[in-house]
Amino acid sequence: MAIYVYAENINGIYKKAAFEAVSYAKAIADQQGDTVTAITINPTDASDLLYKYGASNVINVKDEGLKSFSAKAYAEAVAQLLDGKIIVFPHTTDASSIAPMLSVMKGFALITNVLEAPESVQPFQVKRRAFSGKGVMHAKADIDGVIVTVSQNAFGVKENATQGSEEIKNLSVANEDTKVLSHEQSSGQLDLKEAEIVVSAGRGMKGPENWGMIEDLAGVLGAATACSKPVSDIGWRPHSEHVGQTGKAIAPNLYIAVGISGAIQHLAGVNSSKTIVVVNSDAEAPFFKSADYGVVGDAFQIIPELTQKIKALKG
């Protein structure tokens, strides 16, 4: 029985998280001597992109009614097509709202935020992130059907080129319960949750007029920009950049925090980052306790200099 994966796309374009979920499904399939079937809704990208990471069958759903996102309608579409006992989702905002609905519809176990390939497939047991990233736990499903969501940037995208084929499925799922009233697009070029490097800043920047240096540093590093909660609350930066317990949870390879004190609610959203660099003028700032590298000093001096040094190094 194939291992299924939901390959998320935004406006038809596959997200990096979709490739990571396919890579994860392929790892399970390899443990089981099985194949991977991907389900995707209204993509414009070619299925070749999914074969590259190990999907050997792509079910490409065409449904005009699913042009706007609704967790319930998307879960119904996936439920109609799912013909296996294991399905993998990325832990994105949209996919992690489809997964619980599907879990109820199919009576499957749901294990969210998994970090590694399963320790065992039958029964399904896996390490997952817990307590807002402050701990890990080993979760075991005690029923046969399992849905997992893969924590972004935890397992990684792994190329595993496979000969694939595509099936087009015309569905017409009722999508009446949800109406999208507004949709806030992130201002940066890069999707914050998918970014490998994030440059983030807090109230230590003193005002929105000083964000140019943060954007310049992000620019030379190819990074996304983020901010602390008060910064977005007072309107210095858009809410789409707010990270933490009440904002986005991210796990980039490198998180650079500038003028952020490191309150526990901020850390809850960023402490899964692989490497944390903190720049703060106060040597006693709590963030230094969670930092891999710390610089005590004035951000207004350090950040432009750092940007220049990186530019010179690249040049």
Ligand X SMILES: Cc1cc2nc3c(=O)[nH]c(=O)nc-3n(C[C@H](O)[C@H](O)[C@H](O)COP(=O)(O)OP(=O)(O)OC[C@H]3O[C@@H](n4cnc5c(N)ncnc54)[C@H](O)[C@@H]3O)c2cc1C
Residues that bind ligand X (CB under 6 A): 202-204, 228-231, 244-247, 259-261, 263, 265-266, 269, 279-282, 285, 298-300
Measured from the CB of residue 258, what is the shortest distance to ligand X in angstroms?
A: 6
Tally Cβ neighbours within 10 Å of residue 62.
Answer: 13
Peptide bond connecting 123 to the previous residue in cis, omega within 30 degrees of 0: yes
Q: How many alpha carbons lie under 13 Å from residue 56 in its C-beta half-sphere?
A: 11
Burial (CB count <10 Å: 0-12, 13-18, 19+), residue 201: buried
Give the integer Cα–Cα distance in Å for 282 and 8: 42
In the complex, the smallest distance separating the C-beta of residue 248 from ligand X, rounded to whole angstroms, is 9
Quote the tokens at residue 95.
Answer: 């996919």
**Which lies closer to ligand X via its Cβ, residue 175 or residue 228?**
228
Which residues 6+ apart lie within 8 Å of 52 measured at CB?
19, 159, 160, 161, 162
- Give whichever of 99 and 257 is closer to ligand X, judged by the CB atom: 257
- Minimum CB separation of residue 205 from ligand X in Å reads 8
Identify which of residues 106 and 239 has a Cβ nearer to ligand X in the complex: 239
Nearer to ligand X, 18 or 260 (CB): 260
Q: How far is the CB of 186 from ligand X (least distance, A)?
A: 16
Measured from the CB atom, the residue of 28 and 199 that comes closer to ligand X is 199
Bridge partners of 225? 199
Instruction: Please tell me what DSSP assigns to residue 209.
Output: G
